[in-house]
């Protein structure tokens, strides 16, 4: 039986957010506009408890967790060993900057970096800060003023990272003067291909744009410090770049003497079925940004790994806020890496991926609303498009279908993400129990089947993460 969401306790809490939280008012107005179209309200939950592969909402309803703290709890929810390691660090050090665990974690990270060629590490609290730190480092190291980033990319929510990200044009509004040093280039994913171009032609175009168009018409090559790229367009919809594209970026960086920064905040530490997403491309970057999973899902820990010469002695490259590399964060990172090795988590992620690939093969043929299914490891995305899109009204949006599928999943006990893009994104823990993983995939397919038959859509409610506000 499906859950009636939100349950009474969740609803009461969410309603209290109307007067307190960001978007408290926006939700109501969007909900009204949406209802006028005949859409049903989206289901939302607040986590009352979390453990292993599951979360429970405030009303006690249980969900298999394919949301995973926005792809952060690589070892599942509330892993007891990480919690113990974090508590032990708290008991022993409280908070101090000058503690030994940061040295130990830096060593462990150096050992597992691609080709062991990024031996130095600088700590930050969040992925956002780490990206900003990486870009600042690149500018100071090269003594150049511009960088290249990609449209559809997401690098964080600080002012610098908002400007570096290319999420949507709306997201850039009012920050135009702040983005002077950032050159945006197109990222070739299949939702973005101009009419009459093949995917390969578009990849070639995107590489040509980087290699020739930017240096010829936008900024001289010797004023560009770096290209920053996600080796898996995560928040942008779990798109998986081609070998050509990522290897092409490395070649162009070498040719123009630009640094290659890979943002592995979401793709790193096993998410893609390799320790690092970039390992799928046989490319060694000059810098790598790490976050999310390094926390073990318990205590923030992030930072930037770099080649020796970039981070060894760069006097202008200041970094690290007060809580960067806390004892507890480093303890979480150390214990996480220990468990990765001991429990062979990358292999376990690959085993789950094989199950998912087999299960999802054929969904695009079987269900007319499914336009594409993607898995790079457990970076899993299902994109949706209306089969008669050309006949839909001008303001029609395929994300309505995706949101409806995600809604259907949630009321049937699987929690996943659908943001602004027409994609349901799924991030199971790397150590999820196989039978629970299969049970969740059953729910995903049943949700697609239901929506494929037609019916009411969830519609254009604002893309608020479940439970932040509204009801």
Ligand X SMILES: Cc1ncc(COP(=O)(O)O)c(C=O)c1O
Nearer to ligand X, 10 or 326 (CB): 326
φ/ψ of residue 321, rounded to 5 = -80, 175
Find the shortest distance in angstroms from Cβ 237 to ligand X: 12
Which CB atom, from 156 or from 470, has the smaller least distance to ligand X?
Answer: 156
Identity of the residue, 227 or 370, whose beta carbon is nearer to ligand X in the bound complex: 227
Residues 6+ apart with CB under 8 A from 124: 130, 133, 291, 302, 303, 304, 319, 320, 321, 324, 325
In whole angstroms, how close is the CB of 23 to ligand X at the nearest point?
Answer: 18
Minimum Å gap between C-beta 323 and ligand X is: 13
State which residue, 131 or 337, has the beta carbon closest to ligand X.
131
User: Cα separations (Å) of 32 from 24, 62, 174, 369, 425?
Assistant: 13, 29, 27, 26, 27
DSSP string spanning 81-107?
Answer: HHHHHHHHHHHHHSS-SS-THHHHHHH
Evaluate whether 76 touches 293 at the Cβ level (below 8 Å): no
- What is the closest distance, in whole angstroms, from the C-beta atom of residue 35 to ligand X in the complex? 31
Give the residue from 469, 465, 397, 461 showing the smallest Cα distance to 29.
461
**Residues interacting with ligand X, by CB under 6 A?**
70, 126-128, 131, 154-156, 230, 234-235, 263, 265-266, 291
- Taking the complex as a whole, the smallest distance from the CB of residue 264 to ligand X amounts, in Å, to 7
Using omega within 30 degrees of 0 as the cis cutoff, is the peptide bond preceding 93 cis? no
Residue among 248 and 291 whose Cβ is closer to ligand X: 291
Grouping H, G, I as helix, E, B as strand and the rest as coil, residue 381 is strand
- β-bridge mates for residue 239, sequence order: 233
> Nearest distance from residue 178's CB to ligand X, in Å?
18
DSSP-derived letter for residue 40 is: P
Nearest to 375 by CA among 339, 344, 398, 349: 349
Looking at the Cβ atoms of 131 and 443, the one nearer to ligand X is: 131
Tokens of 54: 């599951």
As a whole number of angstroms, the longest Cα–Cα distance in the chain is: 65
Q: Which is nearer to ligand X, 165 or 404 (CB)?
A: 165
Gyration radius of the chain over CA positions: 22
Q: Return the residue nearest ligand X (CB atom).
A: 127
Can you read off the two tokens belonging to residue 22?
């960001």
CB 7, min distance to ligand X, A: 28
State in angstroms the smallest separation of the CB of 26 from ligand X: 21
Question: Which residue, 266 or 328, is less far from ligand X as judged by CB?
Answer: 266
Asked if 398 and 387 touch (Cβ cutoff 8 Å), the reply is no
């Amino acid at each position: 039986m499906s859950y009636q969401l939100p349950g009474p306790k969740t609803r009461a809490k969410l309603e209290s957010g109307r007067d307190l939280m960001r978007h408290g008012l926006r939700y109501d107005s969007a909900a009204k506009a949406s209802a006028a179209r005949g859409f049903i309200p989206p289901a939302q939950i607040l986590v009352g408890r979390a453990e292993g592969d599951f979360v429970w909402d405030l009303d006690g309803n249980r969900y298999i967790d394919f949301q995973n703290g926005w792809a952060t709890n690589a070892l599942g929810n509330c892993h007891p060993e990480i919690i113990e390691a974090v508590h032990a660090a708290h008991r022993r050090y409280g908070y101090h900057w000058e503690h030994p665990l940061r040295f130990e974690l830096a060593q462990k990270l150096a050992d597992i970096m691609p080709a062991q060629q990024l031996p130095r590490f600088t700590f930050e609290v969040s992925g956002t800060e780490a990206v900003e730190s990486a870009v600042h480092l690149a500018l100071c190291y090269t003594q150049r003023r511009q960088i290249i980033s990609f449209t559809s990319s997401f690098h964080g929510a600080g002012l610098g990272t908002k400007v570096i990200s290319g999420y949507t044009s709306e997201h850039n509004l009012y920050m135009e003067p702040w983005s002077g040093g950032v050159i945006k280039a197109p990222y070739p994913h299949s939702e973005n291909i101009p009419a009459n171009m093949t995917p390969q032609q578009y990849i070639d175009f995107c590489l040509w744009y980087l290699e020739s168009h930017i240096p010829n018409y936008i900024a001289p090559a010797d004023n560009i410090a770096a290209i920053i790229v996600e080796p898996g367009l995560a928040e942008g919809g779990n798109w998986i770049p081609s070998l050509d594209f990522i290897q092409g970026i490395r070649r162009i960086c070498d040719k123009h003497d630009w640094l290659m920064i890979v943002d592995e905040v979401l793709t790193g530490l096993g998410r893609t079925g390799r320790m690092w997403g970039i390992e799928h491309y046989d490319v060694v970057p000059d810098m790598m940004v790490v976050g999310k999973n390094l926390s073990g899902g318990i205590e923030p820990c992030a930072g930037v790994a770099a080649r020796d010469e970039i981070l060894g002695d760069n006097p202008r490259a200041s970094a690290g806020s007060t809580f960067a590399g806390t004892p507890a964060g480093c303890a979480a990172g150390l214990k996480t890496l220990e468990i990765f090795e001991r429990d062979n988590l990358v292999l376990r992620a690959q085993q789950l991926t094989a199950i998912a690939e087999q299960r999802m093969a054929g969904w695009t043929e079987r269900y007319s609303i499914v336009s594409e299914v993607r898995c790079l490891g457990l970076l899993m995305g299902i994109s949706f498009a209306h089969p008669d899109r050309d006949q839909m009204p001008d303001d029609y949006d395929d994300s309505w279908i995706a949101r409806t599928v995600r809604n259907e999943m949630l009321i049937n006990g699987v929690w996943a993400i659908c943001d602004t893009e027409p994609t349901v994104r799924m991030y199971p823990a790397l150590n999820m129990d196989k039978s629970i993983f299969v049970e969740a995939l059953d729910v995903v397919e049943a949700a697609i089947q239901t929506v494929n038959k037609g019916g009411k859509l969830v519609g254009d409610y604002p893309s608020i993460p479940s439970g932040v506000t509204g009801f």
